[in-house]
Structure 1
Amino acid sequence: MRRRDFVGLTGLAAGSLLLPSLPGMGGIFVEPEQLLDTIDPALKKRLADAALNAAKATGASYTDVRIGRYLNQYVFTREKQVQNIVSTESFGAGVRALVNGAWGFAATNTVTEAGLAEAARTAVAIAKANQKVQKTPVQLAPQKGYGEVSWKTPIERNFFEVPVKEKVDLLLAANGKALDNGASYVNSALFQVNEQKYFASTDGSYIDQDIHRIWPTFDVTVVDRTTGKFRSRGSMASPMGLGYEYLTPRASDKMAGPQGTSVIGYKQRYDMLEDAALAARQAKEKLTCKSVVPGKYDLVLDPSHLGLTIHESVGHPLELDRVLGYEANYAGTSFATLDWKAKGAPYGSKQVNIVADKLQPGSLGAVGYDDEGVKTKEWDLIKEGKLVDYQKIRDQAHILGQKESDGCCYADSWSSVQFQRMPNVSLRPGKDKLSVDEMISKVDKGIYIAGEGSYSIDQQRYNFQFGGKVFYAIEKGKIAGMLEDVAYQANTQEFWNSCAGSCDASDYRFLGTFFDGKGQPSQVSAVSHGSSTTRFNGVNVINTARKI
């Protein structure tokens, strides 16, 4: 049996990580050193031309080909032992063809000229069948070809070149720090993803991209053996579009918490050992801290928390396919319809300026070109509180009377058809110099929140509730101790209209997710959300431990 024909499945003994299904886990088991192999771009061009020529010969007016090699390595540990190490490879090609205004798509793991030509003919045949039932022809925004170009995530150290032992030693050292600081249980993991993507189209583009992403994470639990109570705190790390250098901390990337709190933020580097030790101490502190009194509070939200609120209440509702109702079954549609936008209702206060992009260095969404061969860019979504645009791809631009795609088309595998996915969506920092301590000093009654927690949001991305990892009371401009059982409730307009401003760019940081799900069949994508610490006035806070 050929190596690439073998499909391996694995059970991830991932402890209490409770992670979603992982992309690439249906790939094959490979030796780590084999992940360093590369494929000659000239060979990929010859394979792509075979598909483009076959599609044109059988009636396609437009065709694109994606040849993808998806490499993943996952390392899992718990306390003092290694639970699992998995390396996978998935390799194949997908062909999309447009015939008389209808799409057809076919994929193959037979990556030969004959295999891709056959996939192209199948895609054309499917398109011809689809055109019989399609009422409205597809209209593609024009796109110039770029010829032969390439793009690579700017990394300093390829994580596949790092010995597995070094990665295991780091995770076990982090576990040890947590245990030394009072943790009863701890598990940790390291996710490493490399997408080698080659795109070619009849527009004249041959685009070779090498994309790297990394995510270190852990979960710490402290148990009070006398009372049986327990509390947990997860990692404050954000997944990033970086290499293994992300796990080599620098003093310039550490950010102390506000007014002496033990919350620590990170920019382009992450100190996993320090965070694990801190997590154990904070989990222990949670056992005895005060429970929040429900009421109205001014919230000071750290970027490690605010990114998730941006994702759910801005990122998803401004995806044009949700707005139009094309995407509905998976996580709903959007309140921010074209009619709603036309009425000019404010999305937020004048301090709210939110942009979309696939450019920011270190972000998960950073690529040179999307999966339709569109060069990526930055564009405004919300400007001074007003909704000004949505996220769209080539076959959606005409709906808004626009002439170009935003470059946010993506597929999570060579075997998946590409469709509209969320780019990085970020809140611009404040223009005036303002530190976190200065922001807190002006809050009379508030709560500082850091880290992601549980959340809920309705099917139109309007009414929501968000928790966090750690909470600190603010009283008369001072941090007044840790709280627990905190969640805030609002609707999207009320919340963003309560925004009173953000700290300056020196506090700007990312929160990201490896597993943003969308579509049926489901696909996942990786996306980052940047912000500085931001204040929201008069937000309703509930106590999650109280019975109603």
Structure 2
Amino acid sequence: MKRKDFLQMSTLGLGALFIPKSMLLGNPIDPLEALNEGMDVSMKKQLADAGLNAAKAKGATYADVRIGRYLNQFVVTREKKVQNIANTESFGVGIRVIANGSWGFACSNRVTKDDIVKTAERAVAVAKANAKIIDAPVQLAPQKGFGEVSWKTPIEVNPFTVPVKDKVDLLLNVNSTAMDGGASFVNSVILAVNEQKYFASTDGSYIDQDVHRLYPNFVVTKIDKASGKFETRRSLSSPVGMGYEYLTPTADSKVAGIVTRYKNRYDILEDVKNATSNVAEKIKAKSVEPGKYDLILDPSHLWLTIHESVAHPTELDRVLGYEANYAGTSFLTLDKLHSGNFKFGSDLVNIVADKLQTGSLGAVGYDDEGVKCKEWDIIKNGVLVNFQAIRDQAHILGLSESQGCCYAQSWADVQFQRMPNVSLRPGKTKLSVDDMIKNVEKGIYIIGDGSFSIDQQRYNFQFGGQTFYEVKNGKIVGMLKDVAYQANTQEFWNSCVAIADESDYRLGGAFNDGKGQPGQSNAVSHGSSTTRFNGVNVINTARKI
């Protein structure tokens, strides 16, 4: 394979990484079919009641029915070509029950009364079979029924109403901007998701939800023909729980800094201009000298560190060792929580979990077992105070109710504990990026997420990034490359010495957080303001050991 061909394949692969596996499932549809309203909510209630009644008649002490319609669209381009346009729809029902103290689940893509009754009966049969091998019956936290309620993502423009041609034109404009600026390769993608979810349970809830998510992104690559070296820079966009208005930036949404960034909106054309300039700078940038540095981390970078070192290890099933796929278990054992004084981070570190933040990927009104979503503290003033738990886990922590973080990626998957939004609260003192670096003698300002590695206990880790700026005597003096920092989770978060205020707070996140077996993808956001960590070990990733 020629070098050029390898680079083309590599950048295509990077683009494909942004597409969650669940988006590739479903039946192909015409884009206009996504605008059909689908099944009437009154019909969904009748079908759900048929399933609930059938489950109870067969001996279930609890049952829930999820009728789901999942719409996905992705538009993929590179340079002057459209590589792929796909629109998919998946529609079906999943039924979960407790019978003889055990869980059972069954699903079907046939959503008629007779088929739902059969699916419910099959779920009960599975539960009774499982009951023969369980050690203890399921303990389900109480949950009041909410009656008939609904919730919708507060969007201004439904992405599915925007013509595909407009999306293609925008992406090709992005690509043209990069190529005109000297890029060697560029690929760009717009992903749109609409989850139409109906939940009913024997608790008395009938919940209709309409959830929207959007993710525009690109990868720019530049080759230096003289040296043969190349560099890439990905977009600084964030996947969001918003409509197409995310791609319409406003003047008051700009965040000042060495690279222009946006709160709640995104200027993809300005970002690709910056990215094209960045890759040229990165080729010529100085390779970092290993050592201890003070790190100033932009929210576009820090979200991933939060995700890996805070959000995953505070999932209760990982803490208990019930879950180890994809991300291992956790060093945060129950005794650390029960001690009441485990110092996870410095006094400035306050980590909150929620599924409420407007614009976030995790934002819904109710989770997938009918619990009204809320916010709760995980780390308070640096001390571990809670984990993430759902209805059948709440009793383990002595909680009287679920925290509302149960999720299934589709009607065909059983719901289980999934990560909510997990975010670092902003500081109380107004601080700009200049304020954060003005007294740093030796530091690095990092923007954008990159490669990472973390051990199976979520303790020892290494993180890269997109762009790195050297700080000397309180000033940015140039760009660096080959940068990665290493630490352990507790050491790192205890080195936190400054957090910018609410005006700098932004969300990052991922469409495709993987967990479970069979695997499922979860969309989740992590918010923070620019944050400084002192005395962190930095390595040079280009040097051989």
- TM-score between both structures, scaled by the size of structure 2: 0.96
- The answer for the alignment partner of 2:26 in structure 1 is 27
- The answer for the alignment partner of 1:545 in structure 2 is 542
- The answer for the alignment partner of 1:227 in structure 2 is 227
Structure 1 residues 417, 126: CA separation in 2 closer, same or farther (over 3 Å shift)? same
- The answer for the alignment partner of 1:9 in structure 2 is none
| Residues 14, 76 of structure 1: 8 Å contact kept | no
Q: Within 5 Å, which residues of 2 pair with 1:231-380?
A: 231-257=231-257, 261=258, 263-343=259-339, 344-380=341-377
Is 1:17 aligned with 2:15? yes
Whole-angstrom distance in 2 between the partners of 1:113 and 1:379: 39
- The answer for the alignment partner of 2:102 in structure 1 is 102
Whole-angstrom distance in 1 between the partners of 2:399 and 2:248: 44
1:18 CA displacement: 4.2
| Residues 430, 500 of structure 2: 8 Å contact kept | yes
| Secondary structure class of the residue paired with 1:467 | strand
1:345 CA displacement: 2.5
1:21 CA displacement: 4.9
Q: Please tell me the residue identity of whatever aligns with 2:374.
A: K
Whole-angstrom distance in 2 between the partners of 1:500 and 1:403: 36
Q: Within 5 Å, which residues of 2 pair with 1:121-140?
A: 121-140=121-140
| Residues 24, 90 of structure 1: 8 Å contact kept | no
| Residues 325, 515 of structure 2: 8 Å contact kept | no
Is 1:402 aligned with 2:437? no
Q: Please tell me the residue identity of whatever aligns with 1:383.
A: K
Q: Within 5 Å, which residues of 2 pair with 1:427-438?
A: 427-438=424-435
1:24 CA displacement: 3.2
| Residues 52, 120 of structure 1: 8 Å contact kept | yes
| CA deviation string 1:193-229 (max 9, x = no partner) | 0000000000000000000000001000011111111
Structure 1 residues 313, 173: CA separation in 2 closer, same or farther (over 3 Å shift)? same
- The answer for the alignment partner of 2:382 in structure 1 is 385
Q: Please tell me the residue identity of whatever aligns with 1:36.
A: L
For structure 1, which runs of at least 5 residues remain unmatched after alignment?
Answer: 1-12
| Secondary structure class of the residue paired with 2:314 | coil
- The answer for the alignment partner of 1:43 in structure 2 is 43
| Residues 14, 83 of structure 1: 8 Å contact kept | no
| Secondary structure class of the residue paired with 1:105 | strand
1:342 CA displacement: 2.9
| CA deviation string 1:288-338 (max 9, x = no partner) | 110111000000000000000000000000000000000013321000010
Whole-angstrom distance in 1 between the partners of 2:428 and 2:253: 21
| Residues 108, 415 of structure 1: 8 Å contact kept | yes
Q: Please tell me the residue identity of whatever aligns with 2:275.
A: A
- The answer for the alignment partner of 1:179 in structure 2 is 179
Q: Within 5 Å, which residues of 2 pair with 1:137-152?
A: 137-152=137-152
Structure 1 residues 460, 25: CA separation in 2 closer, same or farther (over 3 Å shift)? same
Q: Within 5 Å, which residues of 2 pair with 1:144-223?
A: 144-223=144-223
Q: Within 5 Å, which residues of 2 pair with 1:107-122?
A: 107-122=107-122
Structure 1 residues 385, 75: CA separation in 2 closer, same or farther (over 3 Å shift)? same
Whole-angstrom distance in 2 between the partners of 1:86 and 1:159: 14
| Secondary structure class of the residue paired with 2:43 | helix
Moved runs in structure 1, 4+ residues, more than 6 A? Answer: none
1:254 CA displacement: 1.9
Match of 1:500 among 465, 476, 497: 497
Whole-angstrom distance in 1 between the partners of 2:520 and 2:253: 33
Whole-angstrom distance in 1 between the partners of 2:177 and 2:33: 33
Is 1:472 aligned with 2:453? no
| Residues 355, 364 of structure 2: 8 Å contact kept | yes
Whole-angstrom distance in 1 between the partners of 2:218 and 2:367: 31
Whole-angstrom distance in 1 between the partners of 2:77 and 2:91: 28
| Residues 153, 211 of structure 1: 8 Å contact kept | yes
Structure 1 residues 530, 290: CA separation in 2 closer, same or farther (over 3 Å shift)? same
For structure 2, which runs of at least 5 residues remain unmatched after alignment?
Answer: 1-10
Is 1:532 aligned with 2:529? yes
| CA deviation string 1:333-355 (max 9, x = no partner) | 00001012234320000000000
Whole-angstrom distance in 1 between the partners of 2:20 and 2:145: 36
Q: Please tell me the residue identity of whatever aligns with 1:103.
A: W
Point out the more displaced range, 30-39 or 531-540. Answer: 30-39
| CA deviation string 1:466-510 (max 9, x = no partner) | 000000001111011000000000000000000002000000000
Q: Please tell me the residue identity of whatever aligns with 1:301.
A: L
| Residues 15, 187 of structure 1: 8 Å contact kept | no
- The answer for the alignment partner of 1:73 in structure 2 is 73
| Residues 374, 407 of structure 1: 8 Å contact kept | yes
Whole-angstrom distance in 2 between the partners of 1:464 and 1:313: 8
Q: Please tell me the residue identity of whatever aligns with 1:437.
A: D
Whole-angstrom distance in 2 between the partners of 1:46 and 1:405: 27
1:143 CA displacement: 0.1
Q: Please tell me the residue identity of whatever aligns with 1:306.
A: L
| CA deviation string 1:241-288 (max 9, x = no partner) | 00000011111112232xxx3x22221110001111110110011111
| CA deviation string 1:444-483 (max 9, x = no partner) | 1100001010000000000000000000001111011000
- The answer for the alignment partner of 2:8 in structure 1 is none
Q: Give the share of equivalent positions with the same residue, in percent.
A: 68
| Secondary structure class of the residue paired with 1:389 | coil
Whole-angstrom distance in 2 between the partners of 1:164 and 1:331: 36
Is 1:513 aligned with 2:510? yes
Whole-angstrom distance in 2 between the partners of 1:382 and 1:16: 34
Q: Please tell me the residue identity of whatever aligns with 1:54.
A: A
| Secondary structure class of the residue paired with 2:430 | coil
Whole-angstrom distance in 1 between the partners of 2:25 and 2:378: 36
| Secondary structure class of the residue paired with 1:454 | strand
Match of 1:441 among 423, 438, 441: 438
| Secondary structure class of the residue paired with 1:469 | strand
Match of 1:459 among 456, 460, 463: 456
Q: Please tell me the residue identity of whatever aligns with 2:57.
A: A
Number of aligned residues: 532
- The answer for the alignment partner of 1:6 in structure 2 is none
Whole-angstrom distance in 1 between the partners of 2:57 and 2:27: 35
1:14 CA displacement: 4.5
Q: Please tell me the residue identity of whatever aligns with 1:458.
A: D
1:15 CA displacement: 5.2
Point out the more displaced range, 428-437 or 376-385. Answer: 428-437
